[in-house]
Amino acid sequence: MSLTMIEDIKGAVREAGQLALLYSGKVHKGLKADQSVVTEADNAVESFLRLSLTRLAPTYGYLGEETEETKPPGDGETRYWVVDALDGSRAFAAGIPLWTPAVCLMDGNNAVAGAAFNPITGELFWADAEGPAWCGDRPLRPDYSVELKPNTFILGPTNHHRSFEIDFPGRVYCLGAPIYQLCLLAKGAVKAFFFDPVINLWDLALPSLLLERVGGVLVYGSGRPVELGELRGRRPVPEPVFAGGAEMVAALRERLHFIG
């Protein structure tokens, strides 16, 4: 991918974040069929990103959380956009700064480039077709050593106390939006991440790329690696998801058991 393309992707998510800010404090919450929250901002940002990315690469396909129909790639094309216009809609509607628009470019079953932007903190997480993962102009270099101590932080779902049996000596923080939490994991702010089986391709596409570049893993509770291609049909993941350093994830899979 050319430098110009990744700069366009980064520019698009920056603009998407600024657009969402125009709706901050002015939205009404609605519920989708799966009981997740949606607002006017979700739809506006989705429309903006779909238009911007389609203009950038007209033959690429498009899959967005708020878009009912998936646009397949053009004849002979294998690339398509995966978009979460506003990951963290509940937080956004509540005025909590834990949300981000995210864009990932896929080639077949593989994530190749993308970006996510939190306009409140100014964090721009991104990766190009080659090279490291970045936050702004700093390469991400997390420490993924195994650590099971009282002050070890991991990130999980807000309902973890109901859906998991947990034997972990540290602290479980719950920030809601899975993309932003996984970006913080790639940054090294926490040691690991786990989530119940309610997330989708748009939640995992960009984070999988960031984690690959920093030496992390993204696996199911069974230990099987998450294969993005299996999620193209808009189905949620079939099992709980764990992410982080391989040894830390293996330790947590022994200590955190999904009970539904």
pLDDT tens, 167-195?
Answer: 999 999 999 889 999 999 999 999 999 99
Q: Is the pLDDT of residue 133 over 70?
A: yes
Nearest to 103 by CA among 124, 72, 134, 131: 124
The tokens describing 47, both together, are 């429309």
87 appears as a binding residue in the annotation: yes
Tell me the whole-structure pTM to 2 decimals.
Answer: 0.93
pLDDT for 25 equals 66
Q: Give the burial class of 122: count Cβ atoms within 10 A of its Cβ; 0-12 exposed, 13-18 middle, 19 or more buried.
A: exposed
Give the pLDDT confidence of 55-111 residue by residue, as tens digits: 999 999 999 987 877 899 999 999 999 999 999 888 888 888 899 999 999 999 999
84 appears as a binding residue in the annotation: yes
Domains delineated in the chain: 3-139 (3.30.540.10), 153-258 (3.40.190.80)
The tokens describing 105, both together, are 């470019």
pLDDT for 93 equals 83
Distance CA(91)–CA(99), nearest Å, equals 7
Instruction: With cut-offs at 50, 70 and 90, classify the pLDDT of residue 32.
Output: very low
Q: Where are the alpha helices (DSSP H) in the chain?
A: 3-23, 40-56, 89-94, 160-163, 178-187, 201-214, 246-255
75 appears as a binding residue in the annotation: no
Under 8 Å between Cβ of 179 and 84: yes
Mean pLDDT, to the nearest integer, of 37-63?
89
The tokens describing 70, both together, are 């998936």
Q: Which residues pair with 117 in a beta bridge?
A: 124
128 appears as a binding residue in the annotation: no
pLDDT for 33 equals 45
182 appears as a binding residue in the annotation: no
